[in-house]
């Protein structure tokens, strides 16, 4: 079943078309990799799905077994979050004035409608354990290293209880062992039943954990397929992977 | 208490109400509002219109509601503006209301100003004190609530807040309106102090700047900041006006520049720093 579908998504900034008539599908339970050169429109596509930017043309629909198919394009970000689509930001946007715990608790409180404080706290504890953030809990957000920031960003998204998670370069800037850890976390999240779209430049990660890859170039879909198909695709090698 | 003391204390309490209510919205969200004079003026005109018909507590309630509704409408339109654009708009609102009321009065009621019912100073004083108490309770409750956390989240990273499910527009507009309620109620009470008002008196842009300066002066991180800032500022104003009427603005300005340069977290920031240093010295000795 396709849990999320985009049709003819288009977004222009002034005269520059950042996302140009892009169609995509996301099957329930998969990890879809989104790759492409800088400026290809990957983050803009995330912004269109999550409601951060308004869509010029096209639709995004969400299907779940309880509520059927709903249109999510045109909704405000907080509504989209409540429907179960969570995201992280390329540059971590954690709340620097709050403790780590309160960062995650806020997500649990605001991301789940009508949740009691007790349940929100239980959810927070669960997420902290799941993401392995315990060793950092006594630090302030400003003092934790990049890998921790990225992990907190993921934890904040998870605490909203999503069915779909959009990960925007959660591995950028990490050292090899941190990348390994991050890959393990992404796989674990996926195994817990959350469908994932991830933007990443770390090819090793993309190739080993994504079931399917979508390549964007100049805002358009250049190719789509399994990691093997993509790594041998001539046009992809030409514009992105290199010879 | 002498009448002079009562009047002076009323002014100070009015400033505390304005500074605390301004801080309540602008400090956590980072949206600097210069609309206080608009809401204060709306309260003044509430009393000017209805002063003869209903008692003071009710006037304050109505003044507060008028300002609340006004802020809610204005906020819904303008709180999508960020940063300095919001600030400029809120300042424009004061001028807009001033001229709107002036136009209305001249066109339909054929008056420029109005005489306001006068109420004895002690009643006004106690009414303002009750308003302040309610405001401080509200601020304390909000700080501890989910709503307070949502406000903080909006101020620290509005995009992140929206994407974890915070209805940022609603949160901002509600906080803006609650803060306007206090300013409106204060205006309704203070109007009885002036026997005559006109749009220029009621919508005086100084009332937009004073709460901001007081909050900066006292420090915005704690509720005690704007309270102390307002008390010192209001008392200083009274002192300087009576002692140095011609130099008052110059001295005032110099003090303000000094505070911004040397005390970025205001008086409260200095107090915190000193108590910390004191604690350290004790540890070492």
B168 and A78: CB-CB below 8 Å?
A: yes
Domain boundaries, chain A: 1-76+166-172+197-243
Quote the pLDDT of residue B56: 94
**Second CATH level (architecture) for the domain A1-76+166-172+197-243:** 3-Layer(aba) Sandwich (3.40)
A52 and B153: CB-CB below 8 Å?
A: no
Quote the pLDDT of residue B148: 95
DSSP 8-state symbol, A30? -
Question: Phi, psi (5° rounding) for residue A17?
Answer: -85, 110
B166 and A110: CB-CB below 8 Å?
A: yes
Residue B280 pLDDT grade (very low, low, confident, very high; cuts 50, 70, 90): low
B221 has pLDDT over 60: yes
Model confidence pLDDT, tens digit, residues A141-159: 989 999 999 999 999 999 9
As a whole number, mean pLDDT of residues A167-188 equals 94
Identify all chain B residues contacting A106, using CB atoms and an 8 Å cutoff: 149-150, 153, 161, 164, 166
Mutate to test the interface with B, among A81, A108, A110, A152 (most CBs of B within 10 A): A110
Identify all chain B residues contacting A161, using CB atoms and an 8 Å cutoff: none
Quote the pLDDT of residue B268: 84
In this structure, the strands spanning A57-64 and A2-13 are: antiparallel
Identify all chain A residues contacting B146, using CB atoms and an 8 Å cutoff: 109-110
Quote the pLDDT of residue B258: 86
Tokens of A165: 């998670």
Tokens of A136: 């950092």
B165 and A98: CB-CB below 8 Å?
A: no
As a whole number, mean pLDDT of residues A175-203 equals 95
As a whole number, mean pLDDT of residues B32-36 equals 95
Residue predicted with more confidence, B112 or A65 = B112
Quote the pLDDT of residue B241: 87
A140, A209, B59, B173 from A146: Cα distances, Å = 13, 22, 55, 34
Residue B284 pLDDT grade (very low, low, confident, very high; cuts 50, 70, 90): low
Contacts of B20 (CB under 8 A, 6+ apart): B132, B135, B136, B139, B182, B223, B226, B227, B230
Residue predicted with more confidence, B284 or B4 = B4
Quote the pLDDT of residue B195: 85
Identify all chain A residues contacting B165, using CB atoms and an 8 Å cutoff: 78, 81-82, 107, 110-113, 160
CB A13 within 8 A of CB A72: no
Model confidence pLDDT, tens digit, residues B41-99: 999 999 999 988 999 999 999 999 999 999 999 998 887 777 788 899 999 999 999 99
Q: Which of B152, B153, B163 sits opposite A77 (nearest CB)?
A: B163
Mutate to test the interface with B, among A95, A102, A116 (most CBs of B within 10 A): A95
- Ranges of H-type helices in B30-145: 36-50, 56-78, 84-104, 121-144
A97 and B156: CB-CB below 8 Å?
A: yes
Quote the pLDDT of residue B80: 78
B266 has pLDDT over 90: no
Identify all chain B residues contacting A109, using CB atoms and an 8 Å cutoff: 146, 149
Quote the pLDDT of residue B236: 87
As a whole number, mean pLDDT of residues B276-285 equals 68
Whole-number CA gyration radius for chain A: 18
B123 has pLDDT over 60: yes
Residue B283 pLDDT grade (very low, low, confident, very high; cuts 50, 70, 90): low
The number of CA neighbours under 13 Å toward the Cβ of A228 is: 0
Tokens of B111: 């008056």
Quote the pLDDT of residue A243: 54
CB B122 within 8 A of CB B56: no
Measured CB to CB, residues of chain B less than 8 Å from chain A are 146, 149-150, 152-153, 156-157, 159-169
Instruction: Provide the percentage of residues in chain B whose pLDDT is more than 90.
Output: 67
Instruction: Provide the percentage of residues in chain A whose pLDDT is more than 90.
Output: 85
Identify all chain B residues contacting A102, using CB atoms and an 8 Å cutoff: 149
- What average pLDDT is seen over chain B? 91
Determine the Cα–Cα distance for residues A55 and B154; give it in Å rounded to an integer: 23
B279 has pLDDT over 80: no
B135 has pLDDT over 60: yes
Which residues of chain A from 34 to 53 reach within 8 Å of chain B, CB to CB? 50-52
What's the ipTM?
A: 0.90
Of B4-8, B15-19, B164-168, the poorest mean pLDDT is in B4-8
Model confidence pLDDT, tens digit, residues A84-133: 999 999 998 999 999 999 999 999 999 999 999 999 999 999 999 999 99
Q: Which helix (H) or strand (E) holds A161?
A: none
Residue predicted with more confidence, B263 or B187 = B187
Mutate to test the interface with A, among B80, B149, B165, B221 (most CBs of A within 10 A): B165
As a whole number, mean pLDDT of residues B149-158 equals 95
Residue A225 pLDDT grade (very low, low, confident, very high; cuts 50, 70, 90): very high
A140, A149, B30 from B82: Cα distances, Å = 27, 26, 9
Which single residue is written with the structure tokens 């605001």?
Answer: A110
As a whole number, mean pLDDT of residues B215-221 equals 88
Taking the CA of residue A84 and the nearest CA in chain B, the distance in Å comes to 10
């Amino acid at each position: 079943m396709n849990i999320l579908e985009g049709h003819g998504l288009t977004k222009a900034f002034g005269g520059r078309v950042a996302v140009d008539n892009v169609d995509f599908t996301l099957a329930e339970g998969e990890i879809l990799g989104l790759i492409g050169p800088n400026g290809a429109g990957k983050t803009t596509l995330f912004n269109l799905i999550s409601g951060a930017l308004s869509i010029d043309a096209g639709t995004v629909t969400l299907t779940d077994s309880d509520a059927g198919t709903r249109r999510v394009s045109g909704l405000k970000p907080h509504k989209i979050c409540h429907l179960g689509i969570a995201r992280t930001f390329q540059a971590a946007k954690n709340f620097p004035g709050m403790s780590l715990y309160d960062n995650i608790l806020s997500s649990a409180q605001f991301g789940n409608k009508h949740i009691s404080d007790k349940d929100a706290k239980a959810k927070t504890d669960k997420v902290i354990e799941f993401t392995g953030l315990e060793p950092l809990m006594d630090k302030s957000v400003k003092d934790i290293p990049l890998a921790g920031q990225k992990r907190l960003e993921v934890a904040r998204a998870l605490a909203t209880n999503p069915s779909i998670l959009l990960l925007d370069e959660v591995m950028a800037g990490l050292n090899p062992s941190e990348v390994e850890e991050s890959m393990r976390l992404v796989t674990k999240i996926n195994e817990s039943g959350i469908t994932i779209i991830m933007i990443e430049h770390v090819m090793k990660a993309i190739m080993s954990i994504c079931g399917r890859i979508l390549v964007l170039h100049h805002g358009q879909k250049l190719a789509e397929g399994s990691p093997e198909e993509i790594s041998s695709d001539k046009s992809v090698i030409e514009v992105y992977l290199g010879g | 208490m002498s009448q002079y003391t009562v009047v002076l204390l009323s002014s100070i309490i009015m400033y505390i109400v304005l500074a605390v209510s301004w801080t309540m919205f602008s400090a956590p969200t980072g949206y600097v509002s210069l609309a206080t004079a608009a809401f204060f003026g709306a309260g003044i005109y509430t009393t000017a219109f209805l002063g003869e018909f209903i008692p003071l507590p009710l006037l304050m309630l109505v003044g507060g509601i008028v300002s609340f509704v006004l802020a809610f409408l204005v906020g819904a339109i303008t709180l999508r503006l960020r940063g300095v654009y919001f600030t400029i708009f809120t300042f424009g609102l004061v001028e807009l209301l001033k001229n709107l009321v002036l136009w209305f009065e001249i066109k339909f009621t054929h008056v420029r100003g109005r005489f306001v019912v006068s109420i004895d100073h002690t009643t006004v004083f106690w009414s303002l004190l009750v308003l302040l108490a309610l405001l401080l309770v509200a601020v304390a409750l909000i700080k501890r609530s989910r709503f307070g956390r949502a406000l903080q989240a909006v101020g620290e990273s509005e995009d992140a807040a929206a994407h974890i499910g915070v209805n940022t527009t609603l949160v901002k507009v509600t906080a803006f309106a609650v803060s306007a309620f206090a300013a409106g109620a204060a205006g309704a009470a203070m109007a009885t102090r002036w026997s005559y008002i006109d749009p220029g008196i009621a919508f005086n842009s100084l009332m937009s700047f004073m709460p901001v300066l007081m909050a900066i002066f006292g420090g915005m991180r704690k509720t005690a900041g704007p309270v102390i800032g307002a008390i010192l500022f209001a008392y200083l104003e009274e002192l300087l006006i009576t002692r140095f009427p011609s130099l008052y603005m110059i001295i005032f300005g110099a003090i303000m520049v000094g505070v911004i340069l040397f005390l970025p977290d205001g008086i409260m920031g200095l107090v915190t720093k000193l108590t910390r240093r004191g604690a350290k010295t004790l540890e070492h000795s």
